[in-house]
């Protein structure tokens, strides 16, 4: 991926990323709504690692779909299509493995794998502040029509798609809200403690004019 990007647009500084166990523990606490005891450790075993990995590829996938209309030129769009295919594959592999473990308890907590994916997906939607639902776990929770009991159905959701079975789309500011974990495109945190380095990310961090635009994106006052 990095090689393909450098060939087209040249090199650019990589942003500082927080992939520490402490950060993932905080992320999981945010998803569940209460601090886990003991703290979640993404490096404890392969299931924990897959659940931690679950959070990122789908964000990139929806980002590429949402960014495509903002690009000029066939070369950029061709590169994005290639990156999208790889991210979709990564996301599907992770979701498939987690689906096969969906009812497996996540030791030592009172949640199974499917419930954790659901909670992580809900967190992504909340942070993105989208008015529509763009995320679901590997099993879709619903209300049992017979008993009326809420719970996990057996409906698998390995490929996350809309009603037309096409990929969901997220705008650049939605993506920044999610990866910063602050719900704001202009307030860094989360995976990027000092902010991302891209042109759009830097614009949101430093622009002071509420009506400023970049790449045809709507004013900041509508995207924070």
Phi/psi for 159 (5° steps) reads: -105, 115
pLDDT value of residue 11 = 67
Per-residue model confidence (pLDDT) at position 144:
42
Say if CB 59 and CB 66 are below 8 A apart: no
User: Which pLDDT value is given to residue 32?
Assistant: 96
Assess contact for 71 and 80: CB atoms under 8 A: yes
**φ/ψ (deg, to 5) at 197:** -100, -5
pLDDT reported for residue 1: 58
Q: Are 137 and 117 in contact (CB under 8 A)?
A: yes
What are the Cα distances from residue 73, in Å, to 68, 70, 77, 78? 10, 10, 7, 9
How far apart are alpha carbons 105 and 66 in whole angstroms? 35
For 199, other C-beta atoms within 10 Å of its C-beta total: 11
Q: Give the mean pLDDT of the chain.
A: 84
Q: Is 92 helix (H, G, I), strand (E, B) or coil?
A: helix
Q: What is the rounded distance in angstroms from the CA atom of residue 35 to the CA atom of residue 24?
A: 12
Rounded Cα distance, 146 and 190, in Å: 42
CA 73 and chain centroid, separation: 27
What pLDDT is stored for residue 141 in this prediction? 67
pLDDT at residue 150 in the model: 47
Residues of the chain with pLDDT under 50: 143-153, 219-224
What are the strands, taking DSSP E only, across the chain? 139-143, 150-156
C-alpha–C-alpha distance, residues 138 and 20, integer Å: 25
What is the model's pLDDT at position 222?
46
């Amino acid at each position: 991926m990095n090689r393909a990007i450098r060939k087209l647009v040249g090199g650019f500084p990589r942003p500082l990323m927080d992939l520490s166990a402490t950060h993932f523990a905080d992320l999981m606490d945010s998803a569940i709504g209460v601090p886990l005891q003991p703290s979640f450790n993404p490096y404890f075993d392969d299931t924990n690692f897959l659940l931690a990995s679950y959070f990122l590829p789908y964000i990139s996938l929806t980002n590429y779909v949402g960014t495509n209309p903002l690009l000029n030129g066939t070369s950029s769009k061709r590169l994005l299509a290639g990156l999208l295919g790889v991210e979709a594959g990564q996301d599907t592999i992770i979701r498939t493995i987690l689906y096969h473990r969906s009812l497996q308890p996540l030791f030592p907590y009172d949640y199974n794998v499917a419930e954790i994916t659901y909670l992580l997906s809900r967190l992504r939607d909340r942070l993105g502040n989208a008015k529509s639902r763009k995320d679901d776990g590997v099993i879709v929770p619903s209300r049992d029509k017979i008993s009326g009991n809420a719970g996990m159905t057996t409906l698998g959701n390995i490929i996350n798609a809309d009603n037309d079975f096409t990929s969901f789309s997220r705008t650049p500011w939605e993506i920044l809200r999610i990866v910063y974990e602050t719900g704001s495109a202009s307030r860094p945190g989360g995976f990027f403690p000092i902010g991302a380095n891209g042109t759009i990310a830097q614009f949101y961090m430093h622009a002071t004019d509420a009506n400023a635009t970049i790449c045809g994106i709507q004013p900041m006052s509508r995207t924070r």
